[in-house]
Structure 1
Amino acid sequence: MTDYMKRTIVKEEVPSRILGESRPVKVYLPPGYNDMLSYPVLYCQDGNDFFTMGRIATIANKLILEENMQPMIIVGVSVERRKRTSEYSPVGELNAFYKQFFATELLPYIESNFPIRRQPEERVLAGDSLGGTVSLHLAMDYPDLFHNLLSLSGAFLLPTIKGIRMAADMPRLNAWMIVGLQETSVETHMGTFDFVYWNREAKEALERKKVRVTYAELRGEHTWGLWQQVLPNGLRHFFPATGL
């Protein structure tokens, strides 16, 4: 029986002049990793959560070894809880700085240290809740860098909907979005929100901008219990199986 728990995860510290600190990241290397090859990449907001509660390294190992899914490198970008809303929310004080760090410091650092393909279609941005929000705004702000979005119950509230409506058409953006049907009254420190309603609004607004949207509403709540369950389908969408 294959041991999917044998994972290779490298810890890095990305120096940032913009943030005035180094940002810890975890980098998953796929089975059979060879630095003479090149790999697509998945960037995860809330990086520690994706690795611990999302079990993304184990899921990726299983899909690569069992289903011959295309191997990828996964970068989990950490965030301090006390700064999370400020960095991830489009109205947060640190949001502009975080996005600039991500695009102009994190990407070059990762791509200079790992054999990652540099075409925008080879990069996927992933996030849960506000992590999905900042991922979408990164894709809108840097359309020449990011062409793929994996959103788990994105916190797409009114500022984001307005941002989508004001944006230019985005035909190169490929968005995979899910939300739980029990997410109609999610309590956050910003208030209580109907995430089903707001994800439907975001889907419609994105489609009007010619974004290719794959969207699903599933039974589940605003927790990793749902998100871990659907992560395999999200990975299959962006990293389809290679030919045998």
Structure 2
Amino acid sequence: MAKRTIKKELVTSRWLNETKEILIYLPPGHETLTDLPLLVLHDGPDYFNLGRIVTQATPLIEAGELTPFAMMAIPVNKERRTSEYSPIGERQASHMSMVVEELLPLVRSRYPISPKRDDLVIGGSSLGGTVSLHLALQYPDVCSRVLSQSGAFLQQTIDEVMRQPSLSHLQIYQSIGLSEIAVPTHMGTLDLVARNREMKRHLLEKNAKVAYYEEEGDHTWGFWQRELPRALRLFFGQ
């Protein structure tokens, strides 16, 4: 098995006025590759550790089942997570500006990452899925592909989708566990099954391309880890 490569970058954001340690995953054979697709992950270190996304993706790339791609793991201070990821959070706009204006230019300048919109996927779980969709809505020229696992969609996100004249450019992987009917959050207890069904309906009304999955599962990394390979095949399958 080829050695996987994970780099660290310290980024001091003028938008958030803090320094973050960003992790960059480069696939086997990256030394000879150019224009790698990129998956940007909210709660990124948790995806690497609890979601085991690197451990799952690397053998699929080596087996030729996935196109080689890079990953950028964005950490978040858990105390500020709702503020940065929620549409009602006071730091969400600054977080999105950081991703678009600071992190993407940095990683593309230092690693063999494709500059093309359609080679970029932004994703996350729960509110990480929510802010990933908001990034695609706010910056349609930058991102058109979203990975959302158990997205914690609030009315503000639904309203934003409904304001769009068309989302025919948008591709989204949307999954939800059938046990996620009373999920405790900082914003109260949410029925995420109902909210994801409503979001799917509005996205389809706007002509987005939606790959939607409901299956047994709850609001945990065990569920998200288990279904990650399916999401990776959608975006990066050969």
Q: Which moved more, 1:39-48 or 1:187-196?
A: 187-196
Which residues of 2 match residues 137-176 of structure 1 at below 5 A?
A: 137-176=134-173
**CA separation in 1, counterparts of 2:33 and 2:233?**
24
**CA separation in 1, counterparts of 2:160 and 2:174?**
18
Which residues of 2 match residues 196-235 of structure 1 at below 5 A?
A: 196-235=193-232
Give the aligned partner of residue 179 of structure 1.
Answer: 176
Match of 1:16 among 13, 17, 23: 13
Asked if 1:33 is matched to 2:30, the reply is yes
**CA separation in 1, counterparts of 2:70 and 2:59?**
14
Give the aligned partner of residue 76 of structure 2.
Answer: 79
Match of 2:63 among 45, 66, 69: 66
Q: Which moved more, 1:77-86 or 1:9-18?
A: 9-18
**CA separation in 2, counterparts of 1:63 and 1:197?**
33
Describe the superposition over 1:98-127 as per-residue Cα deviations: whole angstroms up to 9, x where unpaired.
Answer: 111111111111111111111110000110
Unpaired stretches in structure 2, ≥5 consecutive residues:
none
Amino acid at match of 1:43: V
**CA separation in 1, counterparts of 2:159 and 2:65?**
40
Partner of 1:34, secondary structure, is helix
**CA separation in 1, counterparts of 2:224 and 2:188?**
22
After TM superposition, give the deviation of residue 12 of structure 1 in Å: 0.8
Give the aligned partner of residue 134 of structure 1.
Answer: 131
TM-score by length of 1: 0.94
Contact 2:82–2:186 under 8 Å retained in 1 = no
Q: Which moved more, 1:169-178 or 1:14-23?
A: 14-23
**CA separation in 2, counterparts of 1:238 and 1:64?**
13
Partner of 1:31, secondary structure, is coil
Give the aligned partner of residue 107 of structure 2.
Answer: 110
Partner of 2:31, secondary structure, is coil
Give the share of equivalent positions with the same residue, in percent: 45
Contact 1:27–1:76 under 8 Å retained in 2 = yes
Contact 2:34–2:114 under 8 Å retained in 1 = no
Contact 2:36–2:68 under 8 Å retained in 1 = yes
**CA separation in 1, counterparts of 2:29 and 2:95?**
33
**CA separation in 2, counterparts of 1:125 and 1:37?**
20
After TM superposition, give the deviation of residue 66 of structure 1 in Å: 2.4
- RMSD over aligned Cα atoms: 1.2
After TM superposition, give the deviation of residue 7 of structure 1 in Å: 2.7
Partner of 1:150, secondary structure, is strand
After TM superposition, give the deviation of residue 149 of structure 1 in Å: 0.4
Give the aligned partner of residue 236 of structure 2.
Answer: 239
Describe the superposition over 1:35-71 as per-residue Cα deviations: whole angstroms up to 9, x where unpaired.
Answer: 5522000000001110000011111102111243100
**CA separation in 1, counterparts of 2:214 and 2:64?**
25
After TM superposition, give the deviation of residue 197 of structure 1 in Å: 0.1
Contact 1:139–1:149 under 8 Å retained in 2 = yes
Instruction: Report the CA distance shift for 1:91/1:35 in structure 2 as closer, same or farther (over 3 A).
Output: farther
Contact 1:35–1:115 under 8 Å retained in 2 = no
TM-score by length of 2: 0.97
